[in-house]
Structure 1
Amino acid sequence: MRRCYVTVTGRVQGVGMRMACASQAEQAGVAGWVRNRSDGSVEVVLEGEEGAVDGVLRWLYSGPPAARVDDVSVRTEDPQGEQGFHVR
């Protein structure tokens, strides 16, 4: 199991990033959550099998078509048993 705390910056709010991220995570069987931050970035927690988490991480580097991703910061954390994927 792998857990990552991710911050995505750029034009990532108002472009469908949270819903698209949730869809990607659910399709991959990855648990966690996604939410907008007040500074304009998007915060994501991903937890699941390493290959599935890596797949969602790769997607975050481009995001949905209307997004412009400038930076993706990834920090590995200890798994905490997340269940399901939620948009906050």
Structure 2
Amino acid sequence: MVRKHIIVEGRVQGVGFRYNAALIASKYKVTGYAKNLDNGSVELEAQGTPEAVDVFIMEIKKGTPFARVTALYQDDIDIKEKEKSFKTF
């Protein structure tokens, strides 16, 4: 099990990016959250198997038809026990 803190920059607010991230998380059984930041980027935390989190990150990098990711930064962070879902804020 791994957990990543992720910052995504680009056209990622107001274009369904967080909703899409939640759909991808559900598909790969990844838990965590996505929320908009005041600077126009999106912050995510993603937890799951190393393979699932890697695929999740690759998928969100693609963006959506309306979203465009220009940069993605990630760091390993501590796992949150008993987390059961992926939320958007």
TM-score range, shorter chain: over 0.9
Identical counterparts, % of pairs: 36
1:78 Cα offset (Å): 1.8
Other-structure match for 1:78: 78
Alpha-carbon deviation of 1:62? Answer: 1.6
Matched residue count: 88
TM-score under structure 2 normalisation?
A: 0.94
- RMSD of aligned residue pairs (Cα, Å): 0.8
CA distance in 1, matches of 2:65, 2:75: 25
Show CA shifts across 1:15-44 (max 9, x none). Answer: 100100000001110000001111000010
Q: Which residue of 1 aligns with 2:18?
A: 18
The aligned residue for residue 37 of structure 1 is 37
Q: CA deviation at 1:65?
A: 1.5
Q: Counterpart of 2:5 in structure 1: which amino acid?
A: Y
Which runs of no fewer than 5 residues in structure 2 stay unpaired?
A: none
Contact kept? 1:60, 1:72, Cα under 8 Å: no
